[in-house]
A and B are shown apart, each in its own frame.
Chain A
Amino acid sequence: MNRILCLLFVSASLVFAGDLKIEGAWIRAVPPSSKATAAFMTIINKTDTPVLITGGTCPVAQEIRPMITTKQANGVMGMAVAESFAIPAKGQRVFEPGGDHIMLMNLKEVPKAGSTVALVLTTESGGKAGAIHLDVPVR
Chain B
Amino acid sequence: MARHRHNDARSRRIALILLAACAVAAIPVLVILFSIAKKPASPWFGQYDPDAHQAYNFSLTDHDGKPVRLQDLRGQAVLLCFGFTRCPNICPTTLGNLAAVYRKLPPAAQERTKVVFISVDERDTPASLKEYVPFFNERFLGLTGPPADIGTTARAYGAFFRKAPAVGSDKGDYLIDHSTYTHLIDPEGNLRVLYRFEQLPETDRIADDVQRVLGLPVPEKQP
Contact = CB atoms under 8 A, between A and B. Distances in A.
A77 B167 contact: no
A126 to B, nearest CB: 27
Contact of A103 (B160, B167, B169): B167
B169 A63 contact: yes
B178 A77 contact: yes
B contact patch SS: mixed
Interface string A22-42: 000000101111111110000
Contact of B88 (A37, A62, A71, A75): A37
Contacts of B173: 35, 106
B177 A75 contact: no
Contacts of A76: 160-161, 177-180
A74 B160 contact: yes
Given A31-B135, A35-B86, A78 B197 contact: no
B179 A67 contact: no
B181 interface: yes
Interface residues of A, number: 32
B96 A97 contact: yes
Contacts, number: 95
A81 B168 contact: yes
Interface in B72-93: 85-86, 88-90, 92-93
A116 to B, nearest CB: 19
Interface string A75-109: 11111110000000000000001100101111000
B168 A75 contact: no
Contacts of A67: 89, 167
Interface string B84-112: 01101110111010000000000000000
A63 B164 CA distance: 19
A38 B178 contact: no
Given A34-B86, A78-B164, A106-B170, 6 more contacts: A32-B135, A63-B169, A65-B167, A75-B179, A79-B164, A98-B93
Interface of A: 28, 30-38, 62-63, 65, 67, 69-71, 74-81, 97-98, 101, 103-106
10 contacts: A34-B88, A34-B132, A38-B88, A63-B168, A67-B167, A69-B89, A75-B197, A78-B164, A79-B164, A105-B168
Interface of B: 85-86, 88-90, 92-94, 96, 128, 131-132, 135, 160-161, 164, 167-170, 173, 175-181, 196-198
